[in-house]
């Protein structure tokens, strides 16, 4: 079985996070770049299965060339190989474009199961797993809080506000997991050394058979961007017999009721 795990480099959630006001893109230099925690958990699901089953785990990422060291962490954790799609034409790619490129890379690699996080900590789009399943023409089980993999199927639990759902599907399939899944293992020294010898393939759009002029067209357009204004002092309401009226007027004026 071949399990593809999507991983992503993101700005550290404990560091400063801001947008470049000229490009509208995330300022990647504002904080340390790390492997997204939800990506690590998705990889742990695949590795835990591979520990006791005949399975090949491949990490796939679409990111700038500078993210290669971060992607390699997946190899150090235990993945058998890595595929890194890096092309200048993909700078600022929206979710639609990202899904199309990743789907092309996954088809090229081959897969029985694709595992992703439910949403990244930087973009927080939450729709990429469903888009991939549509493009790959396979079933999709989203937001799983538990995952069980067999030779020909995958199943799991999805928690909602008022219920728990049990979902399952035959392979091939795409699944996304939530932070309810266990923390990832730490790369040990043996894994770090082994990662240097494991296959690491860097692909461009041309390698995927994609013409940038025809393919890399975003389906969403940013029209304006501005820095968040500093927090202003709140409004103090003194009750002089009309406090309730003033509060109601404030709520109505700010469309809070």
Is the pLDDT reported for residue 29 higher than 80?
no
C-alpha distances in Å from residue 221, one per residue of 19, 22, 200: 16, 14, 33
Structural domain contains residue 171: yes
pLDDT at 12 over 90: no
Q: Which of 91, 92, 87, 120 is nearest to 222 (CA)?
A: 92
| Residue 174 confidence (pLDDT) | 97
For strands 33-35 and 9-11, give the pairing.
antiparallel
CB-CB contact of 75 with 59 (8 Å) = yes
CA 214 vs. chain centroid, Å, equals 25
Average pLDDT of span 137-142: 96
Answer yes or no: is pLDDT of 141 > 70. yes
Q: Is the residue at 93 inside a domain?
A: yes
| Average predicted confidence (pLDDT) for the chain | 89
> In this predicted structure, what is the pLDDT of residue 63?
92
Look at residue 214 in the predicted model and tell me its pLDDT: 52
Predicted confidence at residue 229, as pLDDT, reads 79
| Percent of the chain residues past pLDDT 70, beyond the cut | 92
Residue span of the structural domain in which 58 resides: 2-215
Q: Is the pLDDT of residue 109 over 90?
A: yes
Q: How far apart are CA 5 and CA 132, in angstroms?
A: 12
pLDDT grade for 126, boundaries at 50, 70 and 90: confident
pLDDT tens readout for residues 230-251:
887 778 888 888 888 989 988 9
Rg (CA), the chain: 22
**CATH number of the structural domain spanning residue 32:** 3.40.50.620
Predicted confidence (pLDDT) at residue 21 exceeds the cutoff of 60:
yes
Please count the structural domains in the chain: 1
Q: Nearest 5°: phi and psi at 143?
A: 50, 50
Residues 27-41 have a mean pLDDT of 84
Q: Is residue 253 part of a domain?
A: no
- Average pLDDT for residues 134-152, to the nearest whole number? 95
Per the domain annotation, does 245 fall within a domain? no
Q: What is the pLDDT of residue 215?
A: 52
Structural domain contains residue 220 = no
pLDDT score of 118: 92
Tens digits of residue pLDDT in 39-79: 999 999 999 999 999 999 999 999 999 999 999 999 999 99
* 255 falls within a domain: no
User: Distance (Å, rounded) from C-alpha 56 to C-alpha 50?
Assistant: 7
In a domain, 173, yes or no: yes
In a domain, residue 114? The reply is yes
């Amino acid at each position: 079985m071949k399990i593809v795990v999507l991983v992503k480099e993101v700005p550290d959630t404990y560091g400063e996070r801001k947008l470049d006001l000229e490009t509208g893109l995330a300022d990647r230099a504002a904080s340390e770049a790390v492997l997204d925690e939800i990506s690590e958990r998705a990889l742990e699901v695949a590795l835990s299965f591979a520990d006791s089953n005949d399975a090949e785990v491949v990490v796939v990422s679409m990111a700038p060339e500078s993210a290669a060291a971060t992607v390699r962490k997946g190899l150090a954790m235990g993945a058998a190989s890595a595929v890194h799609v890096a092309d200048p034409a993909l700078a600022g790619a929206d979710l639609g474009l990202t899904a199309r490129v990743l789907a092309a890379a996954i088809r090229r690699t081959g897969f029985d199961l694709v595992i992703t996080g439910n949403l990244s900590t930087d973009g927080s789009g939450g729709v990429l797993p469903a888009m991939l399943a549509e493009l790959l023409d396979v079933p999709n089980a989203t937001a799983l809080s538990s995952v069980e993999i067999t030779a020909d199927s995958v199943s799991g639990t999805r928690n909602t506000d008022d219920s728990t759902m049990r979902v399952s599907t035959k392979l091939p399939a795409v699944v996304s997991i939530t932070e309810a899944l266990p923390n990832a293992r730490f790369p040990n020294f043996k894994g770090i050394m082994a990662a240097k010898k494991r296959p690491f393939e860097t692909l461009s759009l041309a390698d995927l058979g994609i013409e940038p002029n025809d393919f890399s067209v975003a389906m969403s357009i940013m029209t304006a961007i501005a820095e968040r204004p500093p927090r202003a002092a709140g409004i103090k309401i003194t009750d002089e017999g009309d406090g309730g009226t003033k509060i109601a007027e404030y709520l109505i004026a700010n469309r809070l009721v």
